[in-house]
Structure 1
């Protein structure tokens, strides 16, 4: 059964066709044996990674669904945190795609000793990518369907099933939040041992590298509240790659573009064309940008006839971003501030701000940031994350891992409320998944 599944997947390898992001072509073989064939199998895993972070953005306070019947049918229940009524045409979070990517990674890990026609170094690189894929899929899943790690009592609550083998016949049971994070950190460590590629040429920039490992570790530790670990991991990235796009320059790329100088891993297409057409910028987000901030004009289109503004950071395959340099500056700043390293926190925050504000606005920001105490600085860094990482799939996760605030949305004539620390900060496992495996309901 397993081999039949692999045959089907090998026969339907989907390629990154935009931006010249092409991997290996299907080989026509029945069972993969060579490194090239397993690389093609992993191309399918990369292609299968869902754009769930973008879809989750509709639940946050940074966007709203424009008033169009087609978009409302697909996204309104998500933005209104309506997880219990009949789905209708509501877009799903592609649970099965996470586990398809996990299957492919696990199968390749299990077969590593049988891979032929490849150097030891290249085989290690591929297997390391499989471990990091497994870590990242579990990390995304637990942050969609598990309690926030930082919430009191969350570690012992059930989250999602860990999938650490390619057996497709076993009945999967949910693991706890603590168990999932333990597995994620273990897989990151194994990936670090094996991955040896410092960078890829642009057409392969979706593949994981040495810096991808450190970037994921920084994010995972940040979500766990392991401030020292998050800071050290972010700083280890910045020691190797620290260049930011300069919005004061005559020309620059948007920082989540796959060819940006900030790109670390250009894998996820966070805002698909459908999401991008449906999700308008909220007034709450726009109000966070002050005078002299160059990002609103760079990140968002001018208002249309209905007064809606839409993101310029998505809608095309050019905008693929899982990890980038700007996030690492913010991770380092937040982790440093939380652990009382206020000088280091201010330094990293201001280095980012210098590239995003006019010189006059940056001077004023510098004065204010340098006068902030710990609490004010942490709040400013959180606001800066909202401004900088807008429409890149971070806002929902930042809200749920920190204060889980009350959010109120007035849509039409109806007010919708997500209360402080609301249970709906954790998404329900899809009904179709539970129907296929009733153990997921326990």
Structure 2
């Protein structure tokens, strides 16, 4: 009974902490009335979208994309320093927190929409279905980010036995939560995508609404889930489906639009703010990342700006223009990696070089294409990893790619102090927040 009371208090506290923004957030657990009309449920989902944490962007600080050497705003730096050097045991009180509670808040809204789908008034059946489909996708995506922050990576554990995160599949705030296994969480994510696919019916949203899930986002999401699971056959099938249906790429030799811009031809879903404004100016681009961009690679000049002899800043971050969850280049790289692991070297090379054509000067590209065609499987694997790093840097992928692949040793230096994340270090997985465990002891660490 004591645990149940703590659990109720924790979830209601989440709801109370967010009710100031919108009347529709005064939902039943805090004594108000649920929305009824299609517009009211749309407003509720809009609030859920706006509440999604920027944690994939914040995880950039844990990866090897940034260095903190140089002159930064000390107040902002203090918010990120402990994240950057993996100090999870005793971080400074000013350190920003990853958004454990907010994910469950978003899921509360998603569950409320799902449960009330058939009771929505003043809406067509297609509109009701679309709202519920988006809610299923939101719930799946929140669980996906949570399990990839707070649980061992699927590819480096026994998924059937390793503790994951609590699944929240209903709006009952009295339910006592415990941690599901990693395998259970992934199974639930895929089940929710399947349910969403039956309901989603909007292929393309108008400008200003492209943060909402559309029909193509189901297979885009599946491709990423299967990639993270190391299920190469399914990752390949879904990634190639996305490329076949939405294979447009920005040609950086001629286009001035960055590929992760919400108006880019590559955009599929522009939902997440990945690098918030307070992150700008805190760190500079790691010189080791810059060294991966070779002569003739247009990304070097278009993704970055050198501001001094020792400092380079990223240009593809920091504003709502660069909201990006899925874009087409990701799926060329997923198809290439999956094909490689399926021993299909021809298609691995094909999808990698199709992307490279749009990133390198025409006079230089044939040299690099010839190198790719001559690579062994191990060499090509490393090249695909490097190409993911070059292409998707500062878009919330690198930390998760490190987790699911090599879990390599990382070394960082700040003001003469060296910090090391060992290979396969336990800090590749975040600790569940102590306040969450205090409120629900069933979430205790393994």
Q: Same fold (TM over 0.5)?
A: yes
2 CA distance for matches of 1:98 and 1:310? 30
Q: Give the gaps of 5 or more residues in structure 1.
A: 15-28
In structure 1, how many angstroms separate the alpha carbons of the residues matched to 2:89 and 2:159?
22
Query: Counterpart in 1 of 2:180?
Result: 175
The corresponding residue for 2:286 is 282
Partner of 1:435: 438
Cα distance in 1 between the residues matched to 2:13 and 2:288: 50
Find the aligned partners of 1:261 and 1:189 in 2 and give their Cα distance.
26
Paired position in structure 2 for 1:26: none
- In structure 1, the residue matched to 2:238 is 233
Does the CA-based 8 Å contact 2:15-2:105 persist in structure 1?
no
**Which residue is equivalent to 1:24?**
none
The partner residue of 2:44 within 41, 57, 63 is 41
Report Cα offsets for 1:174-207 as digits up to 9, x if no partner: 1111110010011111111111111101110000
Matched, 1:258 2:262: yes
Further displaced range: 174-183 or 147-156: 147-156
The one of 286, 305, 310 aligned to 1:301: 305
* Residues 48-97 of structure 1 deviation map (CA, whole Å, 9 limit, x = unaligned): 11100010110111112355322331111111111101441001111111
CA contact (8 A) 1:142 1:160 kept: yes
Give TM-score scaled by structure 2 length.
Answer: 0.92
Measure, in 2, the Cα distance between the counterparts of 1:155 and 1:53.
Answer: 25
Deviations 1:81-135 (A, max 9, x none): 1110144100111111111110000011011121111111111111011101111
Report deviation, 1:4. Answer: 12
- 8 Å CA contact retained: 1:121, 1:196: yes
Aligned to 1:145: 150
1:395 corresponds in structure 2 to: 398
Partner in structure 2 of residue 194 of structure 1: 199
Q: Does the residue aligned with 2:154 lie in a helix, a strand or coil?
A: coil
1:136 matched to 2:111? The reply is: no
Give the CA deviation at 1:31.
2.9
TM-score (normalised: structure 1): 0.92
Separation in 2, partners of 1:206, 1:387: 25
Contact 1:277-1:315 at 8 Å conserved across structures: no
CA distance in structure 2 between the aligned counterparts of 1:254 and 1:431, rounded to whole angstroms: 40
Deviations 1:331-390 (A, max 9, x none): 111111111111111111111101111112211111001111221111111100000001
Aligned match of 1:222 in 214, 224, 227? 227
**Aligned equivalents of 2:80, 2:214: Cα separation in 1:** 34
Following the alignment from structure 1 to structure 2, what is the Cα–Cα distance between the partners of residues 277 and 99? 31
- Answer yes or no: is the 8 Å Cα contact 1:10–1:40 preserved in 2: no
SS of residue matched to 1:408:
strand
Q: CA deviation at 1:391?
A: 0.3
- Displacement, 1:317? 1.0
* Matched residue, 2:343: 340
Residues 409 and 421 in structure 2, CA contact (< 8 A), matched pair in contact too: yes
SS in 2 for 1:239: helix
**Partner residue of 2:118 out of 113, 136, 152:** 113
Which residue of the partner structure matches residue 268 of structure 1? 272
Distance 1:162 1:106, change over 3 A: same
**Counterpart residue number, 1:102:** 107
Give yes or no for contact 2:266–2:329 (8 Å, CA) kept in 1: yes
Distance 1:5 1:97 in 2: 7
Aligned residues of 1:9 and 1:41 also touching (Cα < 8 A): no
Aligned length: 426
**Cα offset for 1:5?**
9.0
1:17 corresponding residue in structure 2: none
Match of 2:170 among 165, 170, 187: 165
Cα 1:263–1:153 change in 2 (3 A) is: same
Q: Is the 8 A contact 1:298 1:312 kept in 2?
A: yes
Gap regions ≥5 residues in structure 2? 1-7, 24-31
Go from structure 1 to structure 2 and tell me whether the alpha carbon gap of 1:421 and 1:9 turns closer, same or farther (over 3 Å shift): closer
Whole-angstrom CA distance in 1 between matches of 2:14 and 2:127:
25
Q: Call closer, same or farther: CA 1:8–1:70 in 2, change over 3 Å.
A: closer
